[in-house]
């Protein structure tokens, strides 16, 4: 069989060269378009369901949120397992699908079942899906460095400006904020004053909700001109909250400040983010979308950050805390260095022992074509270019070159014997 292949190749050199050119084109195309990452993504194919019910203890979360959702999510096709965790005010459900199931097909089926299961949840509780990323999707971390700005101001800048801008980057699934203080209007009600004025607690809740919205008043026409009527009612400060009317007492209006203290505060924090032991910081985590090229996503994020930085207040700038592209480039440089070292060493060894430059070129061609074929197969089977796959290629170069050296040496010896044999007979 091998003899027939060799004979056919010798007699059809055009097709052999055509195959080499096609391998080269396909290999370089695969290298250019292959997703590049630092480490292989071995995480499970899962969809995360997150439900928030603040103020409730884990027991209530388990009975009223987690159990109804898990019970109704069972029965979805191609599910491997369902895991759940209940904690203070939050419920997490991890729906693990079989390998090979399309990520967005799985999210659609989970969302369909959630629409049905929501009827069994308390009023006002809405489960949401987690980002369409994986456990290794945290490709870039950054912090906001600003002298003269407190943690609350930096967190507000992150939540209401930077986050929305970076989420528009192609390939980014989510930008998760961390650190700092989240702005909160705190209303501390005095129960004794509620009893004195005879105001129910639920009336205060409804009054605050009703007075924090804009309403429309249709169209008013005057002199053949139409005017849109709008009632502006959004809360803009503490005084707007204090002046909300909650009822009457002996024909005297009662406002919120009569029964409660209204102040600016920060939301409850369950932890802090510290950088290098130098104090708290505010920043964000860029989460890559499933199946994207990590290197390209990071590069697009950096370009967008340069545009966003122009609109930041004076003295505020970005500072990279974790950049996976450094590790990606280092792994690529390692493979490139190993490849050239192998080529040089093999060429020197073949030329020294065989005294033939053409035999060395054959070994070099075997190395290059084998590496290109490897990248073509990686692209075909959806294997990303990472430390493990590139390291495997680097280690396999030594094994790949052995057959080329053996075949070149055997051909060189056969040709030498064929040339020397007539001289011996004479």
Give residues with Cβ within 8 angstroms of 121, minimum separation 6: 51, 64, 65, 68, 69, 127
pLDDT per residue as tens digits for the range 25-63 = 998 888 888 887 777 777 788 999 999 998 889 999 999
pLDDT, residue 422, reads 58
pLDDT score of 146 more than 90: no
- φ and ψ of 314, to 5 deg: -60, 130
What is the pLDDT at residue 223?
82
Position 11 scores a pLDDT of 83
Which pLDDT belongs to residue 423?
A: 54
Q: Is the pLDDT of residue 389 over 60?
A: yes
Check for a shared fold between 2-38+328-421 and 44-132.
no
Quickly state the pLDDT bin for 306 (edges 50, 70, 90). very high
**pLDDT greater at residue 241 or residue 414:** 241
Q: Which residues of 16-41 are buried (b: 16+ CB within 10 A; e: fewer)?
A: eeeeeeebeebbeebbeebbbbbeeb
Task: Extract long-range pairs of 72-79: CB within 8 Å, 24+ residues apart.
Answer: 72/113, 72/116, 72/117, 72/120, 73/49, 73/110, 73/113, 73/114, 73/117, 75/113, 76/109, 76/110, 76/113, 77/109, 78/106
- Beta partners for 215? 231
CATH architecture, domain defined by 44-132:
2-Layer Sandwich (3.30)
Q: Is the pLDDT of residue 424 over 70?
A: no
- pLDDT higher for 207 or 214? 207
pLDDT at 192 over 80: yes
| pLDDT recorded at residue 421 | 60
Does the global pTM surpass 0.95? no
pLDDT digits (tens, 9 = 90+) for 59-106: 999 999 999 999 999 889 999 999 999 998 899 999 999 988 888 999
Residue 419, pLDDT score: 65
How far is CA 188 from its chain centroid? 40
Percent of the chain with pLDDT over 70: 97
pLDDT recorded at residue 251: 83
pLDDT digits (tens, 9 = 90+) for 329-370: 887 787 778 777 877 777 777 677 767 777 777 777 877 888
Residue 228 backbone dihedrals phi, psi, to 5 degrees: -80, 130
Residue 426 has pLDDT above 60, yes or no: no
For 64, residues 6+ apart whose C-beta sits below 8 A from its C-beta are: 53, 56, 121, 122
Task: Please say whether the structural domain 2-38+328-421 has been given the CATH code 1.10.10.10.
Answer: no
Q: Average pLDDT over the chain, rounded to whole?
A: 85
Q: Could you tell me the residue ranges of all domains in the chain? A: 2-38+328-421, 44-132, 183-266
CATH 3.40.50.300 fits 183-266, yes or no: no
Supply the angle between the helices 357-380 and 387-425 in degrees, to the nearest 10. Answer: 150
What is the pLDDT, as a whole number, of residue 370? 83
Q: Based on C-alpha coordinates, what's the Rg of the chain?
A: 34
Chain centroid to CA 133: 5
Q: Could you write out the three-class secondary structure of the chain?
A: CHHHHHHHHHHCHHHHHHHHHHHHHHHHHHHHHCCECCCCCCCCCEEEEEEECCCCCHHHHHHHHHHHHHHHHCCCCCEEEEEEEEECCEEEEEEEECCCCCHHHHHHHHHHHHHHHHHHCCCCCCCEECCCCCCCCEEEEEEEEECCCCHHHHHHHHHHHHHHHHCCCCCEEEEEEECCCCEEEEEEECHHHHHHHCCCHHHHHHHHHHCCCCEEEEEEEECCEEEEEEECCCCCCHHHHHCCEEEEECCEEEEHHHCEEEEEEECCCCCCCECCCCCECEEEEEEECCCCCHHHHHHHHHHHHHHHHCCCCCCEEEEEEEEHHHHHHHHHHHHHHHHHHHHHHHHHHHHHHHCCHHHHHHHHHHHHHHHHHHHHHHHHCCCCECHHHHHHHHHHHHHHHHHHHHHHHHHHHHHHHHHHHHHHHC
- 304 has a pLDDT exceeding 90: yes
């Amino acid at each position: 069989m091998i003899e027939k292949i060799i004979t056919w190749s010798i007699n059809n050199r055009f097709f052999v060269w055509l195959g080499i050119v096609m391998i080269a084109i396909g290999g370089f195309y695969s290298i250019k378009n292959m997703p590049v990452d630092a480490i292989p993504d071995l995480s499970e194919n899962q969809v995360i369901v997150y439900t928030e019910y603040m103020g409730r203890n884990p027991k209530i979360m388990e009975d009223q949120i987690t159990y109804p959702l898990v019970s109704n999510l069972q029965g979805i096709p191609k599910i491997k397992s369902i895991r759940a965790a209940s904690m203070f005010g939050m419920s997490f459900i991890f729906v693990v699908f079989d390998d090979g199931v399309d990520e967005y097909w799985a999210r659609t089926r989970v969302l369909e079942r959630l629409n049905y299961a929501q009827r069994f949840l308390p009023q006002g509780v809405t489960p949401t899906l987690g980002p369409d990323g994986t456990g290794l999707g945290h490709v870039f971390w950054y912090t906001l460095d600003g002298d003269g700005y407190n943690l609350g101001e930096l967190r507000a800048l992150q939540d209401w400006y930077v986050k929305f801008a970076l989420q528009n980057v192609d390939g980014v699934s989510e930008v998760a904020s961390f650190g700092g203080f989240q702005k909160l209007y705190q209303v501390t009600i005095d129960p004794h004053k509620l009893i004195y004025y005879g105001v129910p607690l639920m009336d205060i809740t409804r009054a605050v909700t009703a007075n924090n919205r804009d309403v429309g008043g249709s169209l008013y026409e005057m002199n053949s001109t139409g005017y849109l009527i709008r009632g502006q009612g959004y809360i803009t400060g503490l005084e707007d909250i204090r002046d909300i009317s909650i009822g009457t007492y002996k024909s005297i209006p009662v406002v919120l400040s009569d029964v409660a203290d209204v102040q600016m505060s920060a939301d409850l924090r369950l932890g802090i983010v510290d950088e290098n032991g130098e104090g708290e910081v505010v920043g964000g985590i860029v989460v890559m979308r499933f199946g994207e090229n990590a290197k390209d996503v990071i590069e697009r994020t950096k370009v967008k950050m340069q545009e966003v930085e122009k609109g930041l207040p004076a003295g505020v700038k970005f500072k990279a805390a974790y950049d996976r592209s450094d590790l990606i480039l280092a792994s690529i440089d390692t493979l490139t260095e190993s490849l050239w070292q192998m080529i040089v060493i093999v060429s020197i060894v073949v030329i020294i022992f065989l005294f033939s430059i053409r035999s060395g070129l054959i070994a070099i061609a075997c190395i290059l074509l084998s590496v290109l074929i490897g990248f073509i197969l990686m692209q075909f089977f959806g294997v990303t270019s990472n430390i493990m796959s590139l390291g495997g290629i680097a280690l396999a170069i030594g094994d790949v070159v052995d057959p080329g050296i053996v075949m070149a040496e055997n051909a060189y010896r056969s040709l030498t014997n064929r040339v020397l044999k007539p001289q011996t007979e004479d």
